[in-house]
Chain A
Amino acid sequence: MAKTKPKLATASLAGCFGCHMSILDIDERILQLIDLVDFDKSPIDDIKEFTGRCAIGLIEGGCCNEENVRVLRDFRSHCDILIAVGECAVMGGLPALRNMVPLKECLDEAYLDGPTVYNPGKVLPNDKELPLILDRVYPIQEVVKVDYSLPGCPPSADTIWQALVALLTDKPLELPYELIKYD
């Protein structure tokens, strides 16, 4: 019987799934990763709810709506170590370009005034199934305590790999110069 492996959970909030693609970019090393961890709640294995305590949570994307905040807090309460993965989680990223524009102006441009908008009823999306949008996009460390950040758009597979291996083998997370990038 194999001994119990630590668990890894991942989520994409207001991101583009590019950071998750970068996780998959570790290529065949994913087989080594499977030796080190079990995946818990993650889009990679499609587990929707936490099955227990996780050692590491990887968060891609910032918080642009109330559901992002709920998922993020859920991760914080289930994960020993929470890592902000990518520029969107670290500083809001491209979605945060709207932070300089008031929310009403953003919605009006998207649904009422934009040159290609067809919306004769002048309806703004307001279905109760839709999570409420926040006034601006929040980097995740402004919402919960974040233990590590991996910048990059996306962080390279090597960056993610070295960080995960260091943390899972109780080594300090020290990345070489070439792996710290903000783009």
Chain B
Amino acid sequence: MSDTITFTIDGVEIKGTPGMTILEAADACGVYIPRLCKAKGLSPRGSCRVCTVMVNARPQSACTQPIAEGMIVENDTPALKEHRRQIIEMLLVEGNHFCPLCERSGSCELQALGYRHGIMAPRYPYQFPKRDMDVGHPDLMIDRNRCILCGRCVNASRYVDGKTAYEFVGRSVHKRIAADAATGLAGTRAAADDRAAEVCPVGSIIRKRTAYAVPIGQRPFDRKPIGAEIEAKKA
């Protein structure tokens, strides 16, 4: 068996090694596939469906699908961009995303995906759900108004930090992130330097006393779209 797998994304030849996912191979070759629930160093969950690509004409999540010799992947097509736009818009109306007053504005991945896809306003009605916060921890807080249930914190806390400080509770529209303690986050071993606190793509898990440190204009997504650092790898 060969050590190199060759396939194409939008007609461009991509090389990877066995065991890689489409997303990993694309990243290494400087092709950006938008993603939200997948974070570097965490196992993929395939839940947000933003990274959906067409693999041999069937939709697959690029973060979970292993590469195979000769597969034909479509990524940057009008239909897939529209699919991603709809997911992002639904996420924007499902929670309470008040960008003007959010600490993560400018470094938020959901917002950045909105920018990258040119979303001026979601086409769906805003839900304004009633959600609560957990502010008891001395260094951290959970604002569930902004949570998109990507599961990154659950994953990182369990497999990187070894703490299981965050967990999902409830089902369907009642699903939310909870701290693994009757007393809320303050009763867990969660700490501000946990990977779990760092990986939140939105402003849901916030490290206290760190907000608004970077001026407007210098924040990560002010001038460069999300994914620009991956695309810069392409020679």
Contact = CB atoms under 8 A, between A and B. Distances in A.
A18 B234 CA distance: 42
Contacts of A111: none
Contacts, number: 67
Contacts of A183: 99-100, 102, 105-106, 216
Nearest to A155: B120
A151 B129 CA distance: 21
A20 B201 CA distance: 32
A154 to B, nearest CB: 9
A177 B96 contact: no
B99 A177 contact: no
Interface residues of B, number: 27
Given A151-B120, A151-B121, A182 B128 contact: no
A96 B100 CA distance: 12
Interface of A: prevailing SS: mixed
Interface stretch (A47-55, A125-133, A142-150): A142-150
Interface residues of A, number: 28
B96 A153 contact: no
Given A177-B225, A182-B111, A153 B118 contact: no
A97 B98 CA distance: 8
Nearest to A18: B100
A159 to B, nearest CB: 10
Interface in B38-66: none
A100 B96 contact: yes
Interface string A77-96: 00000001001001111101
B128 A99 contact: yes
A178 interface: yes
A91 B115 contact: no
B117 to A, nearest CB: 10
Interface of A: 84, 87, 90-94, 96-97, 99-100, 136, 139, 141-142, 146, 148-151, 153, 175, 177-178, 180-183
Given A94-B100, A153-B99, 20 more contacts: A84-B121, A87-B98, A87-B99, A92-B126, A93-B98, A94-B98, A94-B101, A96-B126, A97-B98, A99-B128, A139-B125, A149-B120, A175-B118, A177-B116, A180-B120, A181-B222, A182-B100, A183-B99, A183-B102, A183-B216
